[in-house]
């Protein structure tokens, strides 16, 4: 019936294989066409085909009525325009019930149709880049996102939402942040990355709330200053519904494989939160807005020919592995050090000559013009190569990274960004590396 709206308290009378059943809950946007979905009091979502529904009653004193499909409200032309750029990931996935696997198959329009509340927040246009799982994304896809984001702003979009798989979303968000603001500029409007930990046809899915909050932020949130907020990530702040965290794109990291609140701001507070209410979402910023920088109209795209080799420090890092990769002539090596940023480069017991050979290999690589950057495998805390003698020895042979804050994704993207700008100019690269370009070097909170 026409007066049934999302958020109504309803009672469903349905026919099942076990006979007739009754359920009460809050009416949600259906997870697919031909379905009716309600959130039960226990927190679970329940979906049934419309053909199984005998009667639906609105529990506000109105009489029962036969079920009729809900009608979408017309689009309000006065709403701001938001572009949804779709790359894939769990937010755009369904369960293949033949195999039990999650497959990427939603089209952008299907995402919007599954969450009709979006039409009350903004005018939405969609761009399809692909249905990729995020571990398949490479720098060429960063460039496609950058190009499509610029095109969206040129078409008059107030903001952009990029739906992305969560596993490498922090890397893409950092890449977008440096591309738009690494030279001191700012994007014309909010750029919001979001995804989902559970596919959108699961009862426990976080996709719907993540999309609503992200589109609201893109349409009605504060304009970015370019410092810390050139691109942001919006995901659940906790395991329950209703509160979403806004993380700076250059300082977020996925820290859990399956929880809704998988993302954290590393060494910094989240930029803010979005609370979903029965009225419009409420944005609360935790930090004072910084001075707005110069508007950028031409974000940098990444040199797709850049080759960066990554290594993890530990008991199985061997010099022959380093030597084999260095022989391929990478533009840089990115080393995930232990603790404060250390590597296995000393042999105090005179029984591990491979350690000193690692030191010599890196020494010769840097001396020959190579770039080596060290980050840390720890979740929090800076790279600090002044504390111990071996850290100072790494600095002496030209390894960069001392003082770097934030997750390794940020260090990697900053390295690629600066190589794209200063490839072949060692002095310019090192000078730029020491700069705090987008807030990635800000003082830590603990």
Which are the catalytic amino acids? 90, 166-167, 254
Taking the C-alpha atoms of residue 8 and residue 37, their distance in angstroms, rounded to an integer, is 11
Structural tokens at position 175? 């890449």
- Residue 95: strand pairing partners: 102
Residue whose C-alpha is closest to residue 341's, from 394, 294, 292: 394
Burial of 215-242, coded b for 16+ CB within 10 Å and e otherwise, reads bbbbbbbebbbbbbbbbbbbbbbeeeee
């Amino acid at each position: 019936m026409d007066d049934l709206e999302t958020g109504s308290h309803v009672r469903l009378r349905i026919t099942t294989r076990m006979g007739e059943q009754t359920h009460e809950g809050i009416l949600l946007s259906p997870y697919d066409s031909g379905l009716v979905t309600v959130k039960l009091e226990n927190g679970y979502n329940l979906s049934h085909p419309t053909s199984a529904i005998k009667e639906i009653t609105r529990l506000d004193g109105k009489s029962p009525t036969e079920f009729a499909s809900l009608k979408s409200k017309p689009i309000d032309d006065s709403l701001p325009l938001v572009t949804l750029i779709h790359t894939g990931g769990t937010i755009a996935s369904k369960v293949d019930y033949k195999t039990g696997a999650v497959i990427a198959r939603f089209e952008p329009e299907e995402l919007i149709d599954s969450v009709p509340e979006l039409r009350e927040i903004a005018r939405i246009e969609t761009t399809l880049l692909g249905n990729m799982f995020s571990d398949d994304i490479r720098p060429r896809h960063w460039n496609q996102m950058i190009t499509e984001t610029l095109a969206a702003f040129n078409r008059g979009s107030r903001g952009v939402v990029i739906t992305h798989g969560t596993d490498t979303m922090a890397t893409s968000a950092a890449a977008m942040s440096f591309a738009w603001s690494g030279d001191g500029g700012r994007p014309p409007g909010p750029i919001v990355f979001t995804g989902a930990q559970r596919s959108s046809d699961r009862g426990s899915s976080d996709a719907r709330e993540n999309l609503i909050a992200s589109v609201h932020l893109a349409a009605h949130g504060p304009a970015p200053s370019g410092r810390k907020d050139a691109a942001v990530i919006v995901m659940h702040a906790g395991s329950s519904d209703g509160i979403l965290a806004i993380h700076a794109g250059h300082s977020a990291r996925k820290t859990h494989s399956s929880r809704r609140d998988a993302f954290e701001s590393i060494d910094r507070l989240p930029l803010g939160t979005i609370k979903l209410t029965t009225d419009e979402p409420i944005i609360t910023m935790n930090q004072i807005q910084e001075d707005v920088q110069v508007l950028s109209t031409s974000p940098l795209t990444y040199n797709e020919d850049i080759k960066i080799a990554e290594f993890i420090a530990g008991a199985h890092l061997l010099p022959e592995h380093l030597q084999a990769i260095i022989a391929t002539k990478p533009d840089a090596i990115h080393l995930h050090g232990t603790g404060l940023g250390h590597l296995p480069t000393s042999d105090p017991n005179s029984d591990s000559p491979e350690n000193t050979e690692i030191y010599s290999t890196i020494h010769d690589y840097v001396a020959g013009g190579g770039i080596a950057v060290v980050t840390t495998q720890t979740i929090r805390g800076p790279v600090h190569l002044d504390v111990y003698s071996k850290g100072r020895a790494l600095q002496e042979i030209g390894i960069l990274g001392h003082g770097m804050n934030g997750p390794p994704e940020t260090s990697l993207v900053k390295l690629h960004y600066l190589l794209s700008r200063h490839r072949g100019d060692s002095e310019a690269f090192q000078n730029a590396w020491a700069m705090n370009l987008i807030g990635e070097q800000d003082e830590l909170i603990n």
